[in-house]
Chain A
Amino acid sequence: MRQARLTVRGNETVGPYALVRLGRAGLEAGTPGQFFMLEAPGRLLPRPFSLCLAPTGELGFLVDPIGPGTRAIASLEPGETIFVTGPLGRGYDLAVERPLLVGGGIGIAPLPYLSATLDNPPALLGFRSAHHAEAAALVPNAEVVLDPTLVTEALPDDPGDVLACGPEPMLDTLEALVPRAQLAREAPMACGYGACYGCVVERDGGYIRLCLEGPVLSARGGAH
């Protein structure tokens, strides 16, 4: 587990989101779907973010400013520094033959880095408004649907190897439709490295720590 104090290199607006770019300072980018814990200035606990972009020397995170912690991170200015731990957790299994990236809303966050790693496979993205859909520009080769159309309705008959991230109802529907889909789940996390047992999700009748066993989980019935 690596930690470092990283310097903000840039902070751009992408629709309603902020794309915060940090200098790497020795931290690895990890596997797409893995996440980092970012210090939220003025708050006690860090916040988990999957890596969005990994240009040379930088780590980029897509932030939806919905609470005090995410707002503090989304308003960071170039030159400011924050404490970062990562990469953490288990990312996507990249041994796939016909990848289709599926994302919804802020859940598209890990897809730009995943797309770059897999050589820009097709993607299907859903957003609640055209303003939110400005983030689709981060994912090459993407088809975009807007609310009330759902990505799960726009899915091709033979979707291939689905690698997804998005709101829980979207992932639950995908899980039912595509048994072998890889789904990046989300949960609030206090520590991100298995210490607190705060981020559990229900699995096979018990609670598992999403930070250690996820955030990418295979659809139930599939093997991960």
Chain B
Amino acid sequence: MAVRLLNASGCLDALAAPEVARSLDVFVTKTITPEPRPGNPPVRFAETEHGMLNSIGLQGPGLEPFVSEHLPRLAALELELWASIGGFSAEDFGSSCARLDGEDSVAVVELNLSCPNVEEAPETAAELVAAARAATRKPLYAKLSPAQWDIASSAKAVVEAGADGLSLVNTIRGLALDESLAPRLARAVGGYSGPALKPIALACVHACASAVDVPIVGMGGVTTGLDALELVAVGASAVALGTVLFHDPGAPARIREELTAEATRRGLRDPLGARGRSVAKSEKSLQIAQNGTA
């Protein structure tokens, strides 16, 4: 089995660029909220030294117009479709999942539990997942924030609450200033993505892959096939592309090719053969270290 490539939610509009969506194995929608949202005022993004900040604010039509207007057009593209949903309470997640449960074109629901640009729900991630789980039989992927000290515990909690998989990671909150020392984004803070996020994503996937036994979509700063292979090596079974799509719409085909070449160079028959390699290795060295001190 090959390593499947997805887009990170909010990093591609399949209706505006169907050829880019078709070059992926799965298209993940921009996060859909129950009610329409205008999004945040511009300036909405800023390039920084090693990445970029965005503050879009979940601009979108809301769930009902999404289902009635967007979903049929997305379904016509005949892609595997994952719906990313967001909300501001457990009730929001439950009602959105219930609404999508009967939509055959939606293969998986990804729960965005971690948008850095909107206010958070008062409930814990596990409570949101439990509400979603009670409302649908569709596979649920929980998308977690890297901004937590012990992401493995969150991973365990959301899996126990019914998540079938994890999407790791969302952007991490950041801020950039202009020459006059004023924030460059209208809302000051935004989600930090791009190459700088990769080591953070690797650490999160690594921690979660050791803690839970569910499929993980790894994402964060993937620019090359080697970046993707590294995420697989720490435990991801699929890889999502985000910021790279902004500067290289042809990235999926290129990364797929590079991924195979990098695996072959390491004597692997296919890239998925690298899965978990670095997790096993670090556990082994941990044992050696423990034995050594015993």
Interface residues of A (CB under 8 A from B): 1, 3, 37, 39, 43-46, 69, 83, 85, 187-188, 190-191, 193-201, 206-207, 212
Chain B 159-198 interface 0/1 with A at a Cβ cutoff of 8 Å (1 = within) = 0000000000000000000000000000000000011000
CA–CA, A39 to B250, complex, Å? Answer: 14
CA–CA, A104 to B141, complex, Å? Answer: 50
Given A45-B47, A83-B248, A196 and B16 contact (CB-CB distance below 8 Å): no
Binds A, one of B36-44, B102-110, B128-136: B36-44
Would you mind naming 18 contact pairs between A and B with Cβ atoms under 8 Å apart? Answer: A1-B17, A1-B19, A3-B248, A3-B250, A39-B247, A44-B51, A83-B248, A194-B13, A195-B12, A195-B16, A195-B245, A196-B56, A196-B246, A197-B10, A197-B30, A198-B44, A198-B56, A212-B16
Question: Would B246 and A191 count as touching, CB distance under 8 A?
Answer: yes
Given A45-B246, A188-B43, A198 and B54 contact (CB-CB distance below 8 Å): yes
Chain B 1-35 interface 0/1 with A at a Cβ cutoff of 8 Å (1 = within) = 00000000011110011011000000000100000
Nearest 6 pairs between A and B by C-beta?
A: A194-B16, A191-B246, A198-B45, A194-B13, A190-B246, A197-B56
**B139 part of interface (Cβ distance < 8 Å):** no
Question: Which partner residue on chain A sits nearest B223 by CB separation?
Answer: A44
Question: Would B17 and A197 count as touching, CB distance under 8 A?
Answer: no
CA–CA, A197 to B246, complex, Å? Answer: 11
Question: Would A195 and B47 count as touching, CB distance under 8 A?
Answer: no
In the assembled complex, how far is the CB of residue B269 from the closest CB belonging to chain A, in whole angstroms? Answer: 31
Question: Would B59 and A44 count as touching, CB distance under 8 A?
Answer: no
Question: Would B245 and A197 count as touching, CB distance under 8 A?
Answer: no
CA–CA, A85 to B42, complex, Å? Answer: 24
CA–CA, A141 to B190, complex, Å? Answer: 46
Cβ-defined partner of A193 (8 Å) among B10, B45, B56, B249? B249
Given A44-B51, A187-B42, A207-B38, A197 and B59 contact (CB-CB distance below 8 Å): yes
In the assembled complex, how far is the CB of residue B21 from the closest CB belonging to chain A, in whole angstroms? Answer: 10
Question: Would A195 and B13 count as touching, CB distance under 8 A?
Answer: yes
Cβ-defined partner of A194 (8 Å) among B17, B39, B248? B17
Question: Would B248 and A201 count as touching, CB distance under 8 A?
Answer: no
Given A83-B248, A190-B52, A206-B38, A197 and B16 contact (CB-CB distance below 8 Å): no
Cβ-defined partner of B247 (8 Å) among A46, A199, A201, A206? A46
**B243 part of interface (Cβ distance < 8 Å):** yes
In the assembled complex, how far is the CB of residue B257 from the closest CB belonging to chain A, in whole angstroms? Answer: 15
CA–CA, A191 to B13, complex, Å? Answer: 11
Question: Would B249 and A1 count as touching, CB distance under 8 A?
Answer: yes
Question: Would B247 and A45 count as touching, CB distance under 8 A?
Answer: yes
Cβ-defined partner of A195 (8 Å) among B11, B19, B39, B194? B11
Residues of A within 8 A of B194 (CB): 44
CA–CA, A90 to B13, complex, Å? Answer: 17
Chain B residues with a Cβ closer than 8 Å to the other chain, count: 31
Cβ-defined partner of A200 (8 Å) among B11, B44, B248? B44
In the assembled complex, how far is the CB of residue A215 from the closest CB belonging to chain B, in whole angstroms? Answer: 14
Can you add 5 more A-B contacts, CB < 8 Å, to A1-B19, A188-B43, A196-B11? A195-B249, A196-B45, A198-B44, A198-B56, A199-B42
Question: Would A3 and B44 count as touching, CB distance under 8 A?
Answer: no
Question: Would A45 and B38 count as touching, CB distance under 8 A?
Answer: no
Interface residues of B in 57-112 (CB under 8 A from A): 59
In the assembled complex, how far is the CB of residue A184 from the closest CB belonging to chain B, in whole angstroms? Answer: 17
Question: Which partner residue on chain A sits nearest B184 by CB separation?
Answer: A188
Question: Would A44 and B16 count as touching, CB distance under 8 A?
Answer: no
Residues of A within 8 A of B45 (CB): 188, 190, 196, 198
Question: Would B52 and A44 count as touching, CB distance under 8 A?
Answer: yes
Question: Would B16 and A193 count as touching, CB distance under 8 A?
Answer: yes
CA–CA, A35 to B45, complex, Å? Answer: 19
Interface residues of B in 190-245 (CB under 8 A from A): 194-195, 243, 245
- Of the listed residues B13, B38, B39, B56, the one surrounded by the most CB atoms of chain A closer than 10 A to its CB is B13
Question: Which partner residue on chain B sits nearest A4 by CB separation?
Answer: B250
Given A45-B52, A45-B246, A195 and B38 contact (CB-CB distance below 8 Å): no
Question: Would B245 and A191 count as touching, CB distance under 8 A?
Answer: yes
Given A44-B51, A212-B16, A197 and B247 contact (CB-CB distance below 8 Å): no
Cβ-defined partner of A207 (8 Å) among B39, B52, B245? B39
Residues of B within 8 A of A207 (CB): 38-39, 42, 59
